[in-house]
Structure 1
Amino acid sequence: MAGDRTHDLLDYIVRQRWFAGEGAGWQVVRVEPLAWLSNPASGLGVRFELVTVDGPGGTQTYNVPLAYRDEPVEANAYGLVGTASLGADEMAADVYVYDALHDPLARQVLMRGFFEDSPAPSESTGRDPDTVYVSHLPHDEDGALVIDVDSESVLLAVEQSNTSMVVAETAMLKVFRKVVDGRNPDVEIHDALAGPGDDAIAALWGWISATPSGGSASYDLAMLQRFLRTASNGWESARASVRDLLAEPGLEPEAAGGDFAGESVRLGETVRFVHTLMAERLPTAEWGAAELSALADRLDARLDHLAGRVDEIERYAGAARDVYARLRTLDGPVAAQRVHGDLHLGQTLRTTAGWKLIDFEGEPAAALEDRVALDTVWRDVAGVTRSFDYAANSYLLQTGTTGDAEVAQARAWVARNRAAFLAGYGDGHDHEAARPAGGDTVATALLAAYEVDKALYEYVYELDHRPDWAAIPMTMLDQLLG
């Protein structure tokens, strides 16, 4: 940008919540502007730019859609990146550069490709096939598209690893920020589930991908989905149930007006349905004794890594290894398949038509090869069962509730909803006896191993980021490991 383009870009990127790096010492090593989506000579030029940075966390590439304006726009000040000088054939003078997601007119430009028949270049925009739009926009009962090219959009305030905007209260464009070469699992899985899976997901209406000129790498930049405007988040719904229960001292969860068990059963059924469809439409395998032993080895290695970071993990290490060792006694076969990879109540939506699962990217910090690796469905199941524990105990923490009676109520709520979810999920798992001594089924052994692994990770995460919350996984580890 004017004077130092990379300095302005870096300064903007490292201040964003979606920046995954930590510490200082980051530098921009490459900027790859893609083709213009609107003609900059008109006073508003919009394009995606891929910015690669290097630092303590290694090399990372970020997707930064930028809007180049010939005049400053005060309303867009929050998204100001800096100023720039473009060529005489583009803009004649220094221009103001904004994050395009913070510019309402630029957001309209980003959406235009979904209304065009092909990504071929045009004289007016200069678009090149390095930025490709795939559109599956549906039509309404009158045969018109559910949104139009001039629809207004609103940027969602909640921003973590991605940035999302809602268009005409009907569609949601999720812009992936940290990108890697290859298919984004969120796009891949939604595409695979399209049709029959639409009852359990937010339907995929399109995506944007790019292959920068002169390179072989390909990136998914964004995906367009149906926006479920009347949905409620599963995490908030579960916590509301806990709140209602604790409002009536001594009441059993099943007697509460806000009893959540029925919803937990239906959520289990939905997760099972999605897993079944994923197994039908995506790669699968059968794991025998060797693969189950390898899984135990990976869990041991992860435990070693966590113990190396936090000394407190050592108190659980021996018992955790005993749980993992059970996997080495199993012969299989165990079905392995693609899974959600980061499933918890916050990744679920409760709608009038049933539960929906969202955000199939997997663990955001994990490498792509790990996020697309085959696993057993019990990893996802463990993510939800741990989430019930978090929903109840985070409510206790945040409200300062410490009474023995209330804690007992919360634990009863967790046990009831865990059992209900597992009953809904089914698959012949013995849900009443959580861990029958000397008689573990394969499913029980896998679920126990994943729950311990998840709780250990949570413990380290909370010690690093929210020390006051470390008591939640610590208490569960004490219960799981005696």
Structure 2
Amino acid sequence: NGDQEPIELAAVQGFVSNQGDSWRWLPKALGDSTAEDRTRLLTSIRTLGTRTGELHVALSDDDGVEEFASIIIGHPEVDAIEERLGREARNTASMLHRQGACSHSESEELASSLLASVSHADALLGTLQTRVHGDYHLGQVLRVGDDFVIIDFEGEPSRPMNERRQTHSPLKDVAGMLRSIDYAVATAAQLSTSTSHRDLFAWREDAERAFIDGYLGVVGRETQALVPADPQAFAEALDIFMIEKALYEVRYELDNRPDWLEIPFGALRRIGTGG
């Protein structure tokens, strides 16, 4: 029936010999690691940033397909982001208080700080919404030798297909991976018997910088503005998507794994305080 939307029933992919996905690799590699080990791991994380940049450059090419066309982010898109995330920030902060995770004053302070960050969504003006991976985390990246292969492009399985086909800022994927690295560090801290938490959390900050350096080394050469070129605007825009992801994680952990709540809650506090 020509009036019905076509659907894909199957996809065939070539086999990639690998050492497993990167979620299995990174916490294990970090656990009981030496300073030298962690320095070598930063090189791998920078490579992952490079591969992510290459992914986004490829996805920004519409190949002449109208549905793949990029959208320049304007004021309507910025306003929609601010309205949606402002609502999510207030609701999630209230949820934290109701479930006893923080006091009323702490929830109010958190919401206020996040709303201040969300108000900088205009940093995205003039950049592009493109096809993105849509469900990007360490579990979607195979470790292949000293490199990586990205897999599973079907988007978030719980979302309907029309939502999975929507374009987004590539920073949505960047934030997803950085949040995944934060979870990997927290997992390594729980498992490690010799590496201090302080060293691991310091490595997390170095890893975020290494990933972004590798990423910008690719997308920064593009003539089209996939992400803001100004460093301050880039940081403000990335915070928008880090907040979006961490708010989702907080709600998920409150409902399913309260023992893990501190990981995304801590991330929101760091963003809110500029730390």
Instruction: Give the 3-state SS of the residue equivalent to 1:228 in structure 2.
Output: coil
Instruction: Give the 3-state SS of the residue equivalent to 1:261 in structure 2.
Output: helix
In the alignment, structure 2 segments of 5+ residues that lack a partner are 63-67, 222-229
Change (3 A) 1:306 1:356: same
TM-score by length of 1: 0.48
Match of 1:374 in 2: 167
Is the contact between residue 378 and residue 443 of structure 1 (CA under 8 Å) also seen in structure 2?
A: no
Cα deviation code 1:163-212 (max 9, x no counterpart):
xxxxxxxxxxxxxxxxxxxxxxxxxxxxxxxxxxxxxxxxxxxxxxxx8x
Match of 1:320 in 2: 114
Which has the larger strand fraction?
1
Which has the larger helix fraction?
2
Q: How does 1:35-434 map to 2 (within 5 A)?
A: 216=4, 218-245=6-33, 248=34, 252=35, 255-256=36-37, 259-281=40-62, 282-307=68-93, 310=96, 311=98, 312=101, 314-315=107-108, 316-328=110-122, 330=123, 332-352=125-145, 354-397=147-190, 399=191, 406-426=196-216, 427-428=219-220
Q: Aligned equivalents of 1:306 and 1:257: distance in 2?
A: 34
Q: Aligned equivalents of 2:159 and 2:259: distance in 1?
A: 25
Given residue 335 of structure 1, which amino acid in structure 2 is its aligned partner?
L
The alpha carbon displacement at 1:302 in A equals 3.1
Higher Rg: 1
Is the contact between residue 130 and residue 167 of structure 2 (CA under 8 Å) also seen in structure 1?
A: yes
The alpha carbon displacement at 1:455 in A equals 1.2
Q: Aligned equivalents of 1:258 and 1:240: distance in 2?
A: 15
The alpha carbon displacement at 1:331 in A equals 7.3
Cα deviation code 1:257-277 (max 9, x no counterpart):
773111111111111111111
Given residue 82 of structure 2, which amino acid in structure 1 is its aligned partner?
A
The alpha carbon displacement at 1:307 in A equals 4.9
Q: Which moved more, 1:216-225 or 1:411-420?
A: 216-225
How many positions carry a matched residue from both structures? Answer: 250
Cα deviation code 1:36-65 (max 9, x no counterpart):
xxxxxxxxxxxxxxxxxxxxxxxxxxxxxx
Instruction: Give the 3-state SS of the residue equivalent to 2:240 in structure 1.
Output: helix
Percent identical across equivalent pairs? 28
The alpha carbon displacement at 1:419 in A equals 0.9
Q: Aligned equivalents of 1:216 and 1:256: distance in 2?
A: 54
Match of 1:477 in 2: 268
The alpha carbon displacement at 1:368 in A equals 2.5
Change (3 A) 1:395 1:422: same
Compute the RMSD of aligned alpha carbons.
2.8
Q: Aligned equivalents of 1:379 and 1:257: distance in 2?
A: 26
Q: Aligned equivalents of 2:192 and 2:41: distance in 1?
A: 22
Q: Aligned equivalents of 2:180 and 2:211: distance in 1?
A: 11
Match of 1:143 in 2: none
The alpha carbon displacement at 1:353 in A equals 7.6
Q: Aligned equivalents of 1:258 and 1:478: distance in 2?
A: 27
Instruction: Give the 3-state SS of the residue equivalent to 1:223 in structure 2.
Output: coil
